[in-house]
Chain A
């Protein structure tokens, strides 16, 4: 907690730190606006809140009253939401300062933050590399030490993958743990707001503040806010499953070494390790790339230039207005996914694609239930198949880009909570280890993360 008198200083210091991080191009809000808003917010903060004085940056697809919400897209350039997301209202009620909006792949579609209409964000450790995505701006600013925590959003790994790339903690809660009200929809059945923190504790505290039932989101479960566990002495009694499908032969050797070291540490902490199988894992990426674009094609239909956002004119009739606005307002990756989504939902193809994908999704979820029902408490996997890649490396090859999410999409498809934490470095670049837990058992996942965080050499070479 921060004393009320310190708040103006915290606000000014935060603005200074964000200004120093400007070369990363992680923040979309102009610095002058950030500074002015932080100064105002500092005078209004709830001083007794659990997050009093904690500055938090927010991915640009979460609605805020303080700043515009563009979703990294031209089609929402300058858009100011008349309401704020439930998660933002809860952060403010807990005393946090909203410190600006962060860059992301357009409408959260991407794994590198290169698909932003406002330019790419740089990796804090190597400007030639990507910070991951789609919540790359949030991850980069936490990694750079500009803020202790940030909000992102996940549809297929958009918090965990950039968190792993940038060497910070990222949590994707159970679907239904955090209200989606005010999160601009991409794939509604997969979307969930997630958190970044420099430490497990920072991330967990922010998650606790934003979690809990919200009558404005019918898919948000009627549960109390997440209870934070105490940091455990050891992991005696924990059974950690190692799904063999997540350690394929072509896994990056550095990532493999870091994971093996982390597994050894889990064992030293008293956890018992068990190899398990999630047999439908190979179908996760194709399944995801049917369901997410299908929902996106519908969710993004509202951006038509009729009611808000820029209207790309010269249109003679309403069809032409749609064509010019959507043709010029959306970037190529968003257009690609709208086309894919429209195709898989069309009447001749619905059964072959969308319905089959839903069946496969159920099988993938069943894989996890089966493993958890057999006494496994948590799963440990690599968070990404490789360390951060170079900018431009995968831009021309969408499938290669999609495969960057291969270890993260399963938790979204199954609605499970998952977390990544830094477990070492390869050639100076961060590697993340992932924990996946049964639905609504974030507390057990956090216990294991606390214990591992204490012993793992997060910045040491693996």
Chain B
């Protein structure tokens, strides 16, 4: 098949779990990982006579998500029932929103690996509850149902058919995840299923404007598989069309193990959800105060922050991108600068030592920003070498304390005393008579070797800026 002649057209529907303590329509905990069917009550079990009541916190977070994605927030929206039968759907319907969602007409700009800056349209953002979980592998020949997740609050974020390749779809998802994490809307933890993706995909000849017949790709259970699943489905469609066939509008399930898609059996499909307004809940009215509150609470979002890091701190785009990826890291960098460090060294230390330590230690930035700033100052004034600084950083991470005191106690403060330096130089030259002879016959590149030996003899404490002149003086004589 000819890859250049075809292009994919992809739209994404992302389900995001809102960061609330309790569920969407009852007071049960929405925490992940509790023993099966322990975070449940009559409401989320769908017992006869139970009624839903709206979790205001979830609505606030949904409003924040809508604002973060530049959506138009509708002060009045309508809950609707989406009816279908499934054992892990205890009421036989999911409370969602349909004709009048919370928000519409948003956008999210991201960097496409193929096309540079692209703005995805957010067609709609609505609030809904999650279903429970069917466990097919717990008991032989039986399916078990865990309803802890039943009623957990979600927003569904639907894009237009805006992506032209699987990698572009992935880039959008990363940008979306970044925004949602930044604004504390969701922890976006993929292992816990707090961010799930369905996709619509069609292909067409590059240059065509009409859309081809689309399929829905479901069961993309992990973020890592998004690109693979979409590539598999794209290639399948291209192969069908290239062979003169036609695409059926259907739902394809992705099998990560086989890295293949298969059509959902029609019996598993319930296309007609018989949506109608949820009579148990009055129209959702977002108080004006919440809008104001969430607008104010909305932090600077990653794109704007990257821009500012480049202009305000003069950082290279690459540095800004690395620092801004996580709100905690970006805040940390700004705290180090705020404590008096220069921007570029601060960026280097945060991206280098601090991130390495955090990654090794489960994400915690263990050295206080003020200590990092003081360490940077020590290096800059030449009191410790860059190499020795790394050891000080490691000690600070383990036990805290003052950088200068630690450098002192570790014997890492650089020696600028000319007599001490002269002694090390003498010792090194005496111990390497052969190399000295070679140097004197013209092999001057051995100078670096002698500097290294002096540093080694001094256990890194010698100030390298002073060592070279001393060596030159002794060797050159």
Contacts and interface: CB of A to CB of B under 8 A. Distances in A.
Q: Do A and B come from one complex?
A: yes
Contact of A302 (B46, B272, B282): B46
Contact of B267 (A85, A216, A319): A319
Interface stretch (B49-57, B249-257, B382-390): B49-57
With most chain B CB atoms within 10 A of its CB, the pick from A180, A184, A185 is A185
Interface string A304-338: 10111000000000110010000000000000000
A287 interface: no
Contact of A298 (B48, B52, B276, B281): B276
Interface stretch (A38-46, A205-213, A340-348, A386-394): A340-348
B443 interface: no
A306 B87 contact: yes
Contact of A184 (B48, B52, B267): B48
Contacts of A83: 42, 47, 49-50
A219 interface: yes
Contacts, number: 101
A294 B278 CA distance: 11
B141 to A, nearest CB: 11
A295 interface: yes
B42 A218 contact: no
A3 to B, nearest CB: 34
With most chain A CB atoms within 10 A of its CB, the pick from B53, B54, B143, B274 is B274
A298 B49 contact: no
Contacts of A319: 267
Interface in B254-297: 267, 272, 274-276, 279-282
Q: Identify whether the interface residues of B are mostly helix, strand, loop, or mixed.
A: loop
A215 B145 CA distance: 29
B403 interface: no
Contacts of B281: 218-219
A457 interface: no
Given A81-B48, A188-B280, A307-B45, A218 B53 contact: yes
Contacts of B81: 298
Interface in B21-58: 42, 45-54
A128 interface: no
A187 B49 CA distance: 12
Given A82-B42, A218-B282, A319-B267, A302 B90 contact: yes
Interface string B70-89: 00000000000101010100
A269 interface: no
B99 to A, nearest CB: 10
A82 B48 CA distance: 10
B314 interface: no
Contacts of B274: 297-298, 342, 345-347, 350
A439 B256 CA distance: 58
With most chain A CB atoms within 10 A of its CB, the pick from B49, B53, B145 is B49
Contact of B280 (A62, A219, A300): A219
A216 B276 contact: no
With most chain B CB atoms within 10 A of its CB, the pick from A215, A294, A306, A322 is A306
Interface string A170-196: 000000000011111101110000000
B412 to A, nearest CB: 64
A81 B91 contact: no
Given A218-B54, A218-B282, A219-B282, A63 B49 contact: yes
A218 B52 contact: yes
Contacts of A81: 42, 47-49
A218 to B, nearest CB: 5
Contacts of B85: 301, 304, 322
A98 interface: no
Contacts of A346: 272, 274
Nearest to A79: B48
B93 interface: yes
A270 to B, nearest CB: 40
Contact of A182 (B49, B93, B280): B49
A144 to B, nearest CB: 28
B267 A298 contact: no
B274 to A, nearest CB: 4
A217 B26 CA distance: 11
B51 A298 contact: no
A85 B280 contact: no
A180 B51 contact: yes
A365 interface: no
A354 interface: yes
A71 B48 contact: yes
Contacts of A218: 51-54, 280-282
A215 B25 CA distance: 12
Contacts of B49: 62-63, 69, 81, 83, 85, 181-185
Contacts of A183: 49
B316 interface: no
With most chain B CB atoms within 10 A of its CB, the pick from A62, A217, A302, A304 is A302
A76 interface: yes
Contacts of A184: 48-49
Contacts of B51: 180-181, 216-219
A319 B270 CA distance: 13
Nearest to A308: B47
A400 to B, nearest CB: 28
B92 interface: yes
Nearest to A321: B87
A63 B46 CA distance: 14
B271 to A, nearest CB: 8
Interface string B85-129: 101001111000000000000000000000000000000000000
B50 A181 contact: yes
Given A217-B51, A346-B274, A347-B272, A307 B90 contact: yes
B279 A188 contact: yes
Nearest to A301: B92
Contacts of A306: 87, 90, 145
Contacts of B42: 81-83
Interface string A71-102: 10000100101110100000000000000000
Nearest to A176: B282
A298 B92 contact: yes
Nearest to B87: A306
Nearest to A85: B49
Given A216-B53, A304-B85, A318 B90 contact: no
B83 to A, nearest CB: 5
Contact of A301 (B93, B276, B280): B93
With most chain A CB atoms within 10 A of its CB, the pick from B48, B51, B145, B272 is B48
Nearest to B274: A345
A216 B49 CA distance: 11
B268 to A, nearest CB: 10
Given A216-B53, A298-B83, A301-B91, A354 B276 contact: yes
A304 B165 CA distance: 43
A342 B84 CA distance: 11
Contacts of B93: 298, 301
Interface string B283-325: 0000000000000000000000000000000000000000000
B199 to A, nearest CB: 23
Contact of A189 (B47, B83, B272, B279): B279
Given A306-B145, A318-B143, 10 more contacts: A63-B49, A82-B42, A180-B51, A184-B49, A216-B53, A219-B282, A295-B276, A300-B92, A301-B83, A347-B274
Q: What are the 4 closest A-B residue pairs judged by CB atoms, nearest first?
A: A301-B92, A188-B279, A189-B279, A345-B274
23 contacts: A62-B49, A69-B49, A76-B48, A81-B47, A181-B50, A183-B49, A185-B48, A217-B53, A218-B51, A218-B52, A218-B53, A218-B54, A218-B280, A219-B279, A298-B93, A301-B91, A301-B92, A301-B93, A302-B48, A302-B91, A306-B87, A306-B145, A319-B267
